[in-house]
Homo-oligomer: A and B are copies of this chain.
Amino acid sequence: MSEVESFFKSAFSVDNVIFGFDGGDLKVLLIQRGAAPFRGKWALPGDLVYPNEDLDTAAERVLEQLTGLRGVYLEQVRTFGAVDRHPLGRVITIAYFSLIKVSDFALTPASFAQSAHWHSISDVGELAFDHNEILDICLQRLQRKVRNAPVGFELLPQKFTLTELQQLYESVLNLPKNKGLDKRNFRKKILSMNVLVECEEMQEGVAHRPAKLYQFDRERYDQFVAEGFSFDI
């Protein structure tokens, strides 16, 4: 095999770190591999990129095949390309993370997985390939991103309470519940940005005083940015 040909004995894949939040811990969606290598092991959902497919498209496809969701938040994070990272050949992988609303999630039987389950971030065991490292880096990226861009809302239902929003931040940033962030200061800050609108409705079905529901308003956010302010928690 000539050297030039050998350049083409390689492939690239995408792997997707799918985050979710259910009110408790931050979660990541993992699959149990149905094929070698690492058959039976937990891994990030991913696939080889088709020859005629853009990278972002491939990441969207992987996400949709697994969850049935389209149009959710997706961001490229980094490419992992250690020579020996894949036991069967030279395969580099472009890592993405996505943020989905757990309530929207409908498990679709995906060809590449025996099963898929949410795992608490703090309770992820040893994963296939270099997926622990990928998960780490993506989590760090999310932690930075959530603090200076309004992406946290992607993890919550459309209507949410301020307490839920605060708990989301505490989970993502791994802060102690109701200790990490001061409730009054948090509310003051987020409301002062004017990017939330109060819904008519209240929280229902709780055994205590119900909270007001809010929605994120992208138009207001765009205006906030246009005025030269920057989102910062």
Contact = CB atoms under 8 A, between A and B. Distances in A.
Interface in A2-39: 6-12
Copies in the complex: 2
A55 B10 contact: no
Contact of A8 (B9, B50, B55): B9
A7 B81 contact: no
B81 A54 contact: yes
A135 interface: no
A51 interface: yes
Contact of A79 (B10, B11, B82, B94): B94
A49 interface: yes
A83 interface: yes
Contact of A52 (B50, B54, B83, B92): B83
Interface residues of A, number: 24
Given A76-B78, A78-B76, A53 B9 contact: no
> What is the predominant secondary structure among interface residues of chain A facing chain B?
mixed
Contacts of A86: none
Nearest to A58: B81
A7 B92 CA distance: 12
Given A54-B82, A79-B79, A90-B51, A12 B12 contact: yes
Given A8-B10, A52-B83, 15 more contacts: A7-B11, A7-B48, A7-B50, A7-B51, A8-B8, A8-B11, A9-B51, A10-B10, A10-B12, A12-B12, A49-B81, A54-B83, A76-B78, A76-B79, A79-B79
24 contacts: A6-B51, A7-B11, A7-B50, A8-B8, A8-B9, A8-B10, A8-B11, A9-B51, A10-B10, A10-B12, A10-B51, A12-B81, A12-B92, A49-B81, A51-B90, A53-B83, A54-B81, A54-B82, A54-B83, A55-B79, A76-B78, A79-B79, A79-B94, A92-B94
